[in-house]
Amino acid sequence: MDICNGEGFYEELFSFKETAAVGEKWAFFGMGDANFINNSGSYFVLQLGIMLYMLFFYLVNKACVLNAKSVVARKVGMFVHEDDYWDSFVDGSVKLFLESYFDLVICTAINISSFFRSKNLQDFKEFFGTSEDILCSTISITYMMFVVFFPYYSFKYIKHHENRLEKMEGFLNILLEGVNIEKYHGYMFIVYFLIRRLLTGIGLVIFAEWPFL
C-alpha cells in the first residue's frame, strides 16, 4: 500500500541499517529489505495526513468562532465542525489501521524476524545503533504488540457491549460496519477477519522460502 510513494520519502529522510530481504519472493513484491518503515508504504504518510487534516479543521473552526459575526465564517465553521476532533482523529486512525492490518502484520513480522536472523550480538545491536534505527525498531516492537493484541481487544470490546450493539457508536461502529449484528458470528466477523490475517501474515513470512508457498 504505497499510494503516496512513502518508501521513496523514507529513503530520502532516513538512513537505516542495511538488511536483506526475507526471501526472493518478498523481494519480487518490492520488499527488498527487512525494515518496517520502508516496507510500510504510505501508512505513516496517511497517518500524518489524518493528523494534519484534523488539526487544520480544528484551527479553522476556532478562527470561525472568533469571527462568528461573519456569514462566511459561520458557514465555513459549520462545514469543518466536529463534535470532538480528537475522537475523529482516533476513529480515522483506527480505520486506517484496520485497512492496513494485513500489511502491518507482514511488515512487523519481517522486521522482528530480522532480529532473530542477526549473525551475532553485534549485528543485533546495530538495530539500535542510531537514532533512526532505534525509531524503526521501537515502532516495529510497538506494532508487534498492536497487531497481536488488537484481535483480542476487539473480541473483548464487542463482548462487553454485546447487549448494546444496536447503538453502533464510536469504536463499535468501526468494528461492526457492514456486518449482521443480529447473529453472533456476524458481529464477530471482524475478530475472525483479524485472526485470519494475523496468522496468514506471520505464516507467509516464516515459510517464505518453502516450496509449497
Tell me, letter by letter, the H, E, C secondary structure of the chain.
Answer: CCCCCHHHHHHHHCCCCCCCCCCHHHHHCCCCCCCHHHHCCCHHHHHHHHHHHHHHHHHHHHHHHHCCCCHHHHHHHHHHCCCCHHHHHHHHHHHHHHHCHHHHHHHHHHHHHHHHCCCCHHHHHHHHCCHHHHHHHHHHHHHHHHHHHHHHHHHHHHHHCHHHHHHCCHHHHHHCCCCCCCCHHHHCHHHHHHHHHHHHHHHHHHCCCCCCC
| CA atoms of 25 and 209, how far apart (whole Å) | 8
Separation in Å, CA 62 to CA 34, 66, 91 = 44, 6, 21
Q: Could you tell me the pTM of the whole model?
A: 0.85
What pLDDT is recorded for position 137? 92
120: left (phi over 0), alpha (psi -120 to 50) or beta: beta
pLDDT tens string 30-77: 677 888 888 888 888 899 999 999 999 999 998 988 888 888 888 888
For residue 99, which amino acid is it? E
Q: What is the mean pLDDT of residues 141-147?
A: 94
Question: Is 80 exceeded by the pLDDT of residue 150?
Answer: yes
- C-alpha–C-alpha distance, residues 159 and 4, integer Å: 37
- Among 3-7, 71-75, 175-179, name the one with the lowest average pLDDT: 3-7
Spatial neighbors of 26 by CB under 8 A, at least 6 apart, are: 110, 205, 208
pLDDT tens digit sequence for 201-210: 999 888 876 6
Ramachandran area for residue 178 (φ above 0: left; ψ -120 to 50: alpha; else beta): left
